Amino acid sequence: MINVNPQRPDFEKLAKSERVFADVGTDLVGHGPVIAVTPVADGRPGAYDENVAKTWRMAEKVYDLLTSNVFLPDGSPVRVVVAPEIVYGARTGAIAQAYYATQGVCANIWVSRSWCYSDELMSACQGIGSSEWQQAAWGLNQTDRPGAVWLKAFCAAMDEKKRPIFSVYSPDLEDEEGPLCAYVAARLLRFARCAAAVGYMRGKNYLSIGGVAMGIIGSDVRRNALLDYFGVGSASFDMSGINTRLNAGFYDAEEVARAVKWMKDHFRMDFGSGKRPRTPDDLLETCCKMTVIVRDLMRGNASLAKRSVEWVDGFKHVEWAQGYNAVGAGTQGQRQWTDGHPNFDVTESILNSMFDWNGFRAPMPVATENDSKNGIGMIAAFLLSGGMSQMFADIRTNWTCESIEKATGCNVSAICPRGIIDKRNSGAAALEYAIDLYDVCGLPKTAPVSDVVNKLRRSPEAREKALAAISKAVTYMGAALTYFPGDGLSSHFRSPGGLPMTAYRYNVVGDRFTCSVVEGETVDLPEPVADAISKRTDPTWPETAWTPRGMTSFDYMRRIGPNHDANCLGLIGADFITLNSMLRIPVDMHNVPDGDIFRPTMWDRFGGDDFKACDFLGPVYG
């Protein structure tokens, strides 16, 4: 049969059409993560009939688990699709794969309670048309038809075909009548969270605003490496374009006015003393314009395309309104911009946060100094955490208890026996790190960070409380003119202590990525100590003291790569390790307990050597 396109486009009409800003319902366009659940069973008559109902029950439990626990940044549950029928051979497998292809699947979880013809099911995933999919298999631990036999045979077949697969198997016998056992549920969720993050970022962009700041290699955007390892494209926008938009008035003036009022209503402002390059009103307004412009560049803005005013040549506004479909961005700032213009501290602190003049929303990760290698980590952590804001940091000083006592006379060995890292960024950080969000949300510090984000999404009271606490804790301060001659407004605060916090950093060695991820917590230093440390550097900057778990702060300082890391509220180290194995990026330093490490079975074939497994496989999209 000849495949005739049933809806031949009306080319006549298209040829005469005017371009518009297409409303697609979301600010980011492209793949959404879709996870498939594939029930498999022994196809032999009798065996099949005995297994069919119970196998579907397994699929149902996985479906319910994922859709009620894995969330996208907009708060919607991850989309899960299920094979049209139980897969028991080559043809039923192909039917499942054909269906998944129409659904944009990015990951697949195979479930079985019995022996199946393992390698022959793989018609659905021989690697043709599914090489980018993340794969997992759950084999039920029970006795009548042991799922382990299939699971082992299937994972071996996948390994032989160089298709890494995560194996899920309960250490204890499972009770099929009851809910999923905790071990299996935790592993399935870790896989699904990480696979959803991988699926979400693929095909989106990192927007590099400016180039390299002050010789910082992190801000050298490695376009092919980003694409090969993360599936993330990149776009470049010279900072002179910000000036063009400022000068031409290419922003929504009504929104800028609301932004200025919101900033004034919510934050103390200290515009600094002495002779300043701009008046306070001009400074705040310009910083708000820059924020709106960077947001527009990242996500587009329909209101700019609809404007009736003719601008420049009369049609450029539709093109400019599109933006770059960027899931994250970086702003160079120093020095070509900041030597003469306000810095990007308002822009970074607001876009990285969950609140602005339009209300509560998903953060838009923006890396300071266009450090794209930190920026890509912020994008990953933002997705892994279910939409939490990320704190960009300068790794500024290692303070041992001895140094603190020498400098201040205070003995802090009971508070931070392993020392602290002073993580003040040079001017901007997500505002949520000014407060104790666990406390605001009424959650224990052991709760997953995604619970914190969900509480904020669902509870207007929690949001109101959080924003009130942020307003109280944050002061926007006129920039230190020695660093920023063009002025700026830094988001100054002091992070509360006792917050679980994961530090992470992507590095590039040659053309390859590696990742460091270290869990720890923030430290509440006695006020005289915190004040002394603040005065020694720059008191206008956001301040966070952090100590790693199970290692000294000096161990961290000694072994971390560059001058920046980024930080996520909560402990997401194990998720980061799983995510990196999905992307074939080796982890060069971590402090995650062995029992929490979850990687594809192929890693065991390499004796657990992360570097060898990643080296053997190469990047997913490369």
Q: Give residues in contact with Mn ion (CB under 5 A).
A: 394, 426
Ramachandran area for residue 419 (φ above 0: left; ψ -120 to 50: alpha; else beta): left
Q: How far is the CB of 544 from Mn ion (least distance, A)?
A: 14
Active-site pick, 228, 345, 356, 394: 394
Q: How far is the CB of 591 from Mn ion (least distance, A)?
A: 24
Q: How far is the CB of 553 from Mn ion (least distance, A)?
A: 19
Our CB check for Mn ion shows the closer of 42 and 394 to be 394
Instruction: Tell me the sheet residues that pair with 506.
Output: 515
Cα separation, 326 vs 364, whole angstroms: 9
Helices within 397-522 (DSSP H only) = 401-408, 437-440, 449-458, 460-473
Q: How far is the CB of 204 from Mn ion (least distance, A)?
A: 25
Our CB check for Mn ion shows the closer of 255 and 348 to be 348
CA distances from 565 to 46, 197, 330, 368, 543 (A): 58, 20, 14, 11, 14
Cα separation, 79 vs 105, whole angstroms: 9
Q: How far is the CB of 213 from Mn ion (least distance, A)?
A: 8
**In 3D, which of 325, 328, 306 has the Cα closest to residue 317?**
306
Our CB check for Mn ion shows the closer of 323 and 342 to be 342
Cα separation, 541 vs 480, whole angstroms: 9
Q: How far is the CB of 427 from Mn ion (least distance, A)?
A: 9
Cα separation, 170 vs 176, whole angstroms: 12
Our CB check for Mn ion shows the closer of 320 and 506 to be 506
Is 394 labeled as catalytic in the residue annotation?
A: yes
Our CB check for Mn ion shows the closer of 135 and 426 to be 426
Our CB check for Mn ion shows the closer of 426 and 502 to be 426
Two structure tokens written together for 142: 């029970």
Our CB check for Mn ion shows the closer of 130 and 368 to be 368
CA distances from 556 to 117, 192, 505, 589, 596 (A): 48, 30, 12, 9, 21
Our CB check for Mn ion shows the closer of 255 and 345 to be 345
Cα separation, 97 vs 462, whole angstroms: 43
What's the start-to-end Cα distance of the chain, in Å?
36
Cα separation, 562 vs 560, whole angstroms: 6
Cα separation, 463 vs 80, whole angstroms: 29
Our CB check for Mn ion shows the closer of 55 and 334 to be 334
Q: How far is the CB of 396 from Mn ion (least distance, A)?
A: 9
Q: How far is the CB of 342 from Mn ion (least distance, A)?
A: 17
Contact 333, 425 (CB under 8 A): no
Locate the DSSP E strands across 247-375: 268-270, 326-331, 355-356, 359-360, 366-368
Q: How far is the CB of 10 from Mn ion (least distance, A)?
A: 53
Active-site pick, 369, 371, 543, 610: 369
Chain residue at closest Cβ approach to Mn ion: 394
Q: What angle do CA 22, 28, 32 make, to 5 degrees?
A: 110
b/e string for 350-366 if b means 16 or more Cβ within 10 A?
A: bbbbbbbbeebebbbbb
Two structure tokens written together for 603: 């890693």
Give CA 188 to chain center in angstroms.
Answer: 19
DSSP 8-class letter at 33:
P
* Catalytic residue positions, numbered: 369, 394
